[in-house]
Structure 1
């Protein structure tokens, strides 16, 4: 019945109806994750251009350099994947380094307006957010309710793996978007089946190409786990294998074809490009999961139910100790596998277990003790390229699978009405989740730039090749600072030093540029011993490397007058003070 009084009332007197704007659930999840990420990184928010997230390694300065190099190279007609702006004149093969050109392009607006430090910090804050959102999206076929998907995504975004690598400044690993994307591809390729195989395969090829331009190790390990998942599904559903093969073969052909075209040049750089390493980069037992880390949390975890200091006995540094699951979560997953009748849940747990075993490396390490007990990774170690990957990075897949198990369980938990002990199960789940919460905020490191480099364009000439004191080294505590100074000088000069993976005629593997005779003299002065290098040899090495300028930045712990005297002897010129540095132009 029509309400005459309301209908007859003047428009101005009618109650106003406020339209409700409902944001998409995925956007709400992303905003929630962003708030958490900003809270965890609050220490850099007030010094966004003068401090960097992460204080375990020198990698923040390394990533700041590459984030600057990619847009600079594109805008100046340079090759973004091969450069001699460091380690001059030989240069560096970017595809064997953490070049992250994809992020270099995505973050270019920040880099070009606010500088490399701000760009790096923005990437570190956004990486976990995008990774968590990717998992919340990828779980769609198996988890219906958004709260359950949001919790699973948060487990992944702010769980021990990404927290550990955020503390180390590993920008390439806090962007762990690839594993969740592969999870969604598992549904498209193996569960539902590709409805348009060629188009689906082409899209998969583009996904693999994108990851190639983000981090090749994650690509290799992700493809390995995609194969493992296919095998697990084939064992569980053998009758579906033959009908699915034709579509998968067509999709695979399209994938390989598109990937080969898009990544032909990057692949050539990896397989046959200049300055690639010619032997094994690291000890095979360096980048492995310490079994103790699976149950022992690091100081980066809020709830630590173990005596303080036990984490110090584990292999590697805290930035690589991201394998923690904890007894409570392990027991919860084990119980769910037995109790919950869910094939996706059990397959996720199986794949997670396989990834955990593979992450242990070629032989078992417990509390930094090498037991010599052989493990399945031994079979994969000889595989080209895959053998160079660090199996410890598979911890991301393990955590993702555990998050999927929890997400499926939470999705079903609200619909259970008659199961005795639902309350206890909810409390147990909440407790297991609490044991993975990160502790406080990540540390930050000061990243101020000497005034000279902030105004380098006023003091240096186009084409200058600069040797700096301090030199660029792989020392984690600030060794790569001069690379950041070069980036903040808008790549206005080349440097002979560098922190990178590569080689030269005398070294099959390099992690940093070899120490020059000139820098050896500087090291002698720093160690308070007589200079062991003739000035003539230092001068010859500088000229042989094409150095045109030596810039000495005084530091409190270095005998600056002695360094200046040594530099004057090696260059044959008197230094000139410019801002807060000394300049020697050869």
Structure 2
């Protein structure tokens, strides 16, 4: 497979992946200069905490420590590691690197993989599973991997910035809409859920919420029972396998020693300003650090919006321009839902807290699981939807218009439905640009009707009318009549229309064309704009 005949598609994929890795290394170049001697100054407390988690993961093999609890911190009460971000999915495989080179190097590797892995995963899913062109998938993945929210979370939260498994989970859920492979698809999704649970459970919860809202907005309500019939057994397999593996860790997290339920009011009040999406982030090219600090109250690692007003205008204009697309509508509804939710319990407008104005999150903040969510991080879902929308914009509004159109029309797999022309007004075939020939559509008075005379099979006409409408020979079938009732894929009806049925009293003539006696029950026996009854 080649892209416009210039170079293979694998080369394009390799160059895209290499560019993402180089970009991630460039972002963290100062940390890579001395990983064990430097740290991220904007959020050094969380950086030190993650390095301790990486060190504790090595003690599982060297000292036989438990991965769920430790007395090395908060002695003598200890700390519940399952209730914190122990990132076992990343810490355990990188244990040899931690023992050999130190926890600082492992932290730099995880931070680099968080950015590059997120971009590569979205590029793969957008170009393969979602059918977007490679240029569109590349631009969308670049935004999703290096968005202002990801750069902000990278300052001390590599478990949240690393969203490489999120697009794979989304793609696995979308594949479930096809019947079959119940156990296989369920087990694949269960493996992805287990891996993501070992990185960050909060992002897994956000993904489930986003998929729920998107499916309700995308699937027509009349089709929901059919989708549920196909997908629920596969989700049951996922729940069975993942639940069996995570049963004890979750039990220890919520009921073990030093467990807690919900966040304190100070953490739950960390919400996003209403102007947080139209303001430039401090890590953006045109960003203003002072303005970002003022709008976000100085929280450098929680700038989970900050698109800037130009991108907001582009996204709104794209939603209006592509509103007729069901996919675009579902993306817009999902983004709007999480934008409203990210404002938190009480609204904050231009760094001014309005305690009397409550957002929709006010009615969800105290529910189980929802009470452990930091509202501002719901803006990460908006970032993901914005990246997919950018890929959709480039694919439909730019790439499709620049793609050279082939002069050869698409192959028509149709066959003539009937050898006789109909008297109804015909429509042009979508496979040809030639206009259809108008035919008479009015019936003559009964006194002037002529008796029907059978005619021989006509020669293949030169018109480009579609066989399902004009009953003529399709120009792509080359006059073949092996399947006379077959229509092209553009106009194939669900059932054979009455005008395409054979007459009940047909018999072959010398020329091979069927001759029929017109009856009231044979609407296909119309010829030259007249119909008679026997």
Residue number in structure 2 paired with 1:82: 69
What is the Cα deviation at residue 58 of structure 1?
Answer: 0.9
Q: Is the 8 A contact 1:37 1:125 kept in 2?
A: yes
Q: Is 2:112 the partner of 1:125?
A: yes
Higher relative contact order (CA 8 A, sep 6+): 1
Q: Is 2:139 the partner of 1:157?
A: no
The answer to which of 334-343 and 349-358 deviates more is 334-343
The superposition leaves residues 379-405 of structure 1 with CA deviations (integer Å, 9 ceiling, x where unpaired) of: 221221221111221222111111111
Q: Is 2:388 the partner of 1:400?
A: no
Residue number in structure 1 paired with 2:342: 359
Bigger CA radius of gyration: 2
Structure 2 unaligned blocks of 5 or more: 1-6, 404-534
Q: TM-score, normalised by structure 2?
A: 0.69
Structure (1/2) with the larger helix percentage: 1
The superposition leaves residues 98-129 of structure 1 with CA deviations (integer Å, 9 ceiling, x where unpaired) of: 11111102322321210001110111112110
Q: Is the 8 A contact 1:52 1:60 kept in 2?
A: yes
Cα distance change, pair 179–316 in 1 and its aligned pair in 2 (3 A): farther
Structure 2 distance, partners of 1:21, 1:331, is 36
Structure 1 distance, partners of 2:308, 2:275, is 10
Q: Is the 8 A contact 1:352 1:398 kept in 2?
A: yes
1:96 paired residue among 51, 74, 83: 83
Q: Is the 8 A contact 1:142 1:344 kept in 2?
A: no
Aligned to 1:320, what secondary structure does the other structure show?
coil
Cα distance change, pair 313–403 in 1 and its aligned pair in 2 (3 A): closer
Q: Is the 8 A contact 2:86 2:199 kept in 1?
A: yes
Structure 2 distance, partners of 1:379, 1:24, is 51
Cα distance change, pair 248–21 in 1 and its aligned pair in 2 (3 A): closer
Q: Is 2:362 the partner of 1:374?
A: no
Q: Is the 8 A contact 2:50 2:86 kept in 1?
A: yes
Q: Is the 8 A contact 2:80 2:258 kept in 1?
A: yes
Q: Is the 8 A contact 1:143 1:411 kept in 2?
A: no
The superposition leaves residues 406-435 of structure 1 with CA deviations (integer Å, 9 ceiling, x where unpaired) of: 10111123455499xxxxxxxxxxxxxxxx
Cα distance change, pair 360–182 in 1 and its aligned pair in 2 (3 A): farther
The superposition leaves residues 264-310 of structure 1 with CA deviations (integer Å, 9 ceiling, x where unpaired) of: 12111122111112563342643321222111123221113x79546
Aligned to 1:193, what secondary structure does the other structure show?
coil
| Aligned pairs for 1:147-546 within 5 A | 147-166=135-154, 168-189=155-176, 192-234=177-219, 237-277=220-260, 280-283=263-266, 285-304=268-287, 309=291, 311-340=293-322, 341-371=324-354, 372-417=356-401
Residue number in structure 2 paired with 1:44: 31
Cα distance change, pair 239–126 in 1 and its aligned pair in 2 (3 A): same
Q: Is the 8 A contact 2:24 2:112 kept in 1?
A: yes
What is the Cα deviation at residue 182 of structure 1?
Answer: 3.5
Structure 1 unaligned blocks of 5 or more: 1-19, 420-586
Structure 1 distance, partners of 2:290, 2:74, is 43
Q: Is 2:92 the partner of 1:105?
A: yes
The superposition leaves residues 144-190 of structure 1 with CA deviations (integer Å, 9 ceiling, x where unpaired) of: 31121111111011111111112x3112112122432333134213x
Give the 4+ runs in structure 1 shifted more than 6 A.
Answer: none
Q: Is the 8 A contact 1:178 1:211 kept in 2?
A: yes
Structure 1 distance, partners of 2:402, 2:195, is 47
The superposition leaves residues 225-257 of structure 1 with CA deviations (integer Å, 9 ceiling, x where unpaired) of: 2222222224xx123212222222211211111
What is the Cα deviation at residue 21 of structure 1?
Answer: 8.6
The answer to which of 245-254 and 367-376 deviates more is 367-376
What is the Cα deviation at residue 315 of structure 1?
Answer: 3.2
Residue number in structure 2 paired with 1:562: none
How many residue pairs get aligned? The number is 394
Q: TM-score, normalised by structure 1?
A: 0.63
What is the Cα deviation at residue 69 of structure 1?
Answer: 0.9
